[in-house]
Amino acid sequence: MTSASVHDSQVAIPLIHMSSDRVTYLYGVMDSAYDAAAIRTASLENNHLPLIHLHTRPEPKTELPCRIVLPSEWDPAEKQRYKIRTAVERGFSRI
């Protein structure tokens, strides 16, 4: 656990290493806040495929909500794994 002033991406790499020691998993599914070369590299070095949405900035002064468009190079299974992440996020928001 971290304080509210610590951004999640700052503890991503230690979390990758710690979780790799405890469980076996194949994918690192993260939102665009984790879009950094160091995080991708740490994930790959631990034999995890990083499914990280690219960080995009919305156009200024837009009235429309920012819609997430998944990368076209992801295969359908990778897109489905990323969509499951949003279900988890909805659960946490209700807590």
**Which pairs with CB-CB distance under 8 Å and at least 24 residues apart come from 4-7?**
7/33
Which one has a higher pLDDT value, 64 or 40?
A: 40
pLDDT score for 13: 93
pLDDT score for 5: 82
Mean pLDDT of the chain: 82
Q: Tell me the per-residue pLDDT of 3-44, one tens digit each, with 9 for 90 and over.
A: 778 887 889 999 999 999 999 999 988 888 888 889 999 999
pLDDT score for 64: 52
How do the domains of the chain map onto residue ranges? 8-94
- CA 42 vs CA 5, 6, 80, 87, 93: distances in Å: 23, 19, 23, 25, 28
Specify whether the CB–CB gap between 55 and 35 falls below 8 A: yes
DSSP state of 52: E
Q: Is the pLDDT of residue 73 over 90?
A: no
- CA 46 vs CA 36, 56, 75, 90: distances in Å: 16, 26, 21, 28
